[in-house]
Amino acid sequence: MATKIIMPQAGQDITEGRVVKWLNAEGDTVKKGDPICEVETEKVVFEVECPSNGVLFKIVVPDGEKAEIFSTIGIVAEQGERVNLDEFLKGEEPAEKEIDLSDIRKKLGKKGAGERLKISGRARKLAKKLGVDPATLEGSGPGGRIVEKDVKAAAEAGADNTVRISPVARKMAEDHHIDTGQLKGTGPGGRIVKEDVQQAIDDAAGKTATTQKPRKTGAKEVGEVVPIRGVRQVIFERMHQSLQQSAQLTITSEADAAELFRFRTSLSKGPEDERIKLSYNAILLKMLAHALEAHPRVNASVVENEIWEWKSVNLGVAVDVEEGLVVPVIHNANQKSLLTIQNELNDLANRARSRKLMPDDLQGGTFTLTNLGFLDVDAFTPIVNPPESGILGVGRIVEKPVVEDGEIKIGKRMVLSLSFDHRIIDGADGGRFLKKLKTYIENPYILLAVGH
């Protein structure tokens, strides 16, 4: 019996996802539980598991295309099974969908930029079939909703606002800068389909392969062009938002890390079955949790015209992955032991690097730790991760000459960089928080005396 491969929700605030790539081709034998495709939301890339044994009968949403959550992106069927796609997918279209047409209306020079236009599910399906762009239509239904007769009228009139090109073909043409006005459609009614665009792409490549020069801008030659989307787009927008919407200040302090080094080393010694392996990040997270409990203003966010001090201490940890920087969150870190924090940290880091993080793993943070010591970085200026109000940047532990009691000695030092929103956290408050944290770093055995 055929089974739908569904676009998973993968997070409370996620409404759509993009198929990055299918790991199998149509007709391939697949097994239940095996990864069958990679999906990208605005925050993470993760694998979708095959829902049943059989063959990949149909790829409904191809590589690079987006789909709403809970919609069908593919179909698995039994070997030799016949599936009527129209019947199998019948009723899946929502009765009504709101489409944000702000950018499209601005480009068209129409009034009402920023409005949301309603279109019935049946009208949307018909528009897709006939190649009619809903953004160019005026709805005659209740509240200005576009209904089937509006789409039919546009298609029959053959007006300029009717684009006889499939959505997939349009996307391909845009991505490869193909002028669709020069193409002859081979689809039903002369509609341009993806095969027509692909042929144009191939023709253009054949004509320019020997003569095309690398793109240049001024005296600079362009190498690889990387699209800003998915995880990178989130980083792009969040960092810009952070600097635009908050007054960030960074203060630094140098801590004596000798006892921190000894503390971590001593836990890894002793009887083999009692050795404890802890990372510096796990220890620092535990210290941060206690320091934030003592200084709740640093564990806060601006919500409209109010400052909300969070009771929960949810600590984000910056992890470097192939797609960019992600920040999985350890929730209620102030209520967890060092070992529990380490185990959760290991799990989150492993799933981040194997693309198994879910969007909910990245939500709810109240403060962030970012450690660049493993890259031999001494100090840096971290950027606050909104809507949080603070982030701690940690550099490497380095041996250097220090003066103690009037004598020069070789010590182990670590630079701490605290960036915070100066609108709600005063410099003195930030300094007191950093001093509290420094106390824990220089006296880490305190962690064994406090709760949890």
The answer to whether residue 240 is catalytic is no
What is each CA distance from 133 to 114, 148, 159, 166, 360, in whole angstroms?
18, 13, 11, 10, 35
Which tokens go with 211?
């003569």
Pick from 48, 68, 66: which is nearest to 3 by CA?
48
> How are beta strands 216-217 and 315-317 bridged, if at all?
unpaired
Q: Which regions of 31-181 does DSSP assign to beta strands (E)?
A: 35-40, 45-49, 54-59, 66-68, 72-77, 96-100, 116-120
Q: Please pick, among 100, 175, 203, 426, the residue that the annotation labels catalytic.
A: 426
Q: Which of 133, 256, 422, 452 is catalytic?
A: 422
d(CA 91, CA 71): 11
3-state secondary structure 141-155: CHHHCECHHHHHHHH
The CA distance from 257 to 413, in Å, is: 5
Rounded to whole angstroms, the Cα distance separating 200 from 412 reads: 63
| CA–CA distance, 138 with 116 (Å, rounded to integer) | 12
Residue 295 is inside which H or E element, if any? none
422 annotated active-site: yes
How many residues are there in the chain?
452
Which residues does the annotation mark as catalytic? 422, 426
